Amino acid sequence: MSRRTIGLLIAALAAAPLPASAQKCRMDAADRAWLEQALLQWHATETGVLELASMPLPQVIAIDADCTYALPAGDFAAMTAEPHGEMVKLPDGAEAPLGPIAFASGEGGYFAMSLPSVWRAAGVTGEGGLERLMTGVLLHEMMHVRQTALANAALAGAMAAAGISDDELTDDVVQERFFGDADYVAAYEAERDMLFAAAAAPGDAQARTLAVEALGLMRARRARWFAGDNAPFAAIDDVFLTMEGMGQLLIYRYLRSPEGGAVSEAEAIEDVRRGRRWWSQDHGFALLLVVDRLLSDWQQRAFREPDWRAERLLAAAVEAR
């Protein structure tokens, strides 16, 4: 779902020969090793953090400087490859410029990501290493693969009511509509900061008190700005805060794990918040940190039931004991 390029291991298997049609293409051993471990990390996260039954991977599209590799259901043994130029052709007919990209496509049922060699050539770096950053990005985007069906169902009516076409819809649509309203920006920032304060509170009682305040700020913001012609934005906001928040939470949980470097809580939060430019990611991350702390069974609700999204999850978190 994300349109952005996001600038943020399990031994490698021997590279299998590619079909004769793609003899000019051979994935670099280091790139392949990263992709293999990152997909394994997704399966571990899918079952361990999200408590979901493991599902087959979508088609994985991996891109290096010369070739585009297609892995049906993530299967390296069935991998095919085709050379590309400055533009990379994707399974649904779309094209993307060669460079650091990562996104999930609900329409084509695929996940596309350029390989570490491409990110490194573009000068992308990350605390703890580029590959660690990229694994976090992959986890975030793969989360969206699991969310697509319910997200589309939840968004369809709101998009129509708001007059937003498929081409216009992005996870930044609320930001794009309201960033020029200084009062809205102040309200959003106060709500976001209250959620981060709740997540960082020394005890659960204090965290819950702050989260109650944040929930009140959320409801007041929506009552004031998401009314009349803007009423559909309440549902849109709810969907994208949940989707992006869950994606960011997966990066955080990965960084806190031994596989991700077991970094400190404060350092992991700062790494995930790098840039802080995109509202749905930063705000959603703050909300899901609180939900993850206070609502032990949130995984059984979020994006499994149509109405269990940001506001309802936060309300359940402040009521949980």
Per-residue pLDDT of the chain (321 residues; tens, 9 = 90+): 443 433 332 222 233 444 434 458 999 999 999 999 999 999 999 999 999 888 899 999 999 999 999 999 999 999 999 999 999 999 988 899 999 999 888 655 899 999 999 999 999 988 789 999 999 999 999 988 888 777 777 888 888 887 887 777 778 889 999 999 999 999 999 999 999 999 999 999 999 999 999 999 999 999 999 999 999 999 999 999 999 999 999 999 999 999 999 999 999 999 999 888 999 999 999 999 999 999 999 998 887 877 888 999 999 999 976
Residue 302 counted as domain residue: yes
- Compute the C-alpha angle 83/119/122, nearest 5°: 95
Give residue 93's identity as a one-letter amino acid code.
G
> Quick one: 190 and 260 in the same domain?
yes
Tell me the DSSP string of 163-220.
T--TTT--TTHHHHHHTT-HHHHHHHHHHHHHHHHHHH-SSHHHHHHHHHHHHHHHHH
CB 211 within 8 A of CB 291: no
Residue 130 counted as domain residue: yes
Residue 162 counted as domain residue: no
Residue 308 counted as domain residue: yes
Residue 105 counted as domain residue: yes
Domain boundary among 88, 123, 138: 138
Residue 8 counted as domain residue: no
Domain boundary among 123, 138, 153: 138
Residue 13 counted as domain residue: no
> Quick one: 58 and 119 in the same domain?
yes
Count of domains observed in the chain:
2
Backbone angles phi, psi at 186, to 5 degrees: -65, -40
Give residue 70's identity as a one-letter amino acid code.
A
> Quick one: 132 and 244 in the same domain?
no
Residue 186 counted as domain residue: yes
> Quick one: 68 and 178 in the same domain?
no
Which residues form the domain of 307? Answer: 170-319
Which has the closest alpha carbon to 218: 201, 199, 195, 240?
195
Say what the pTM is: 0.88
CB 90 within 8 A of CB 114: no
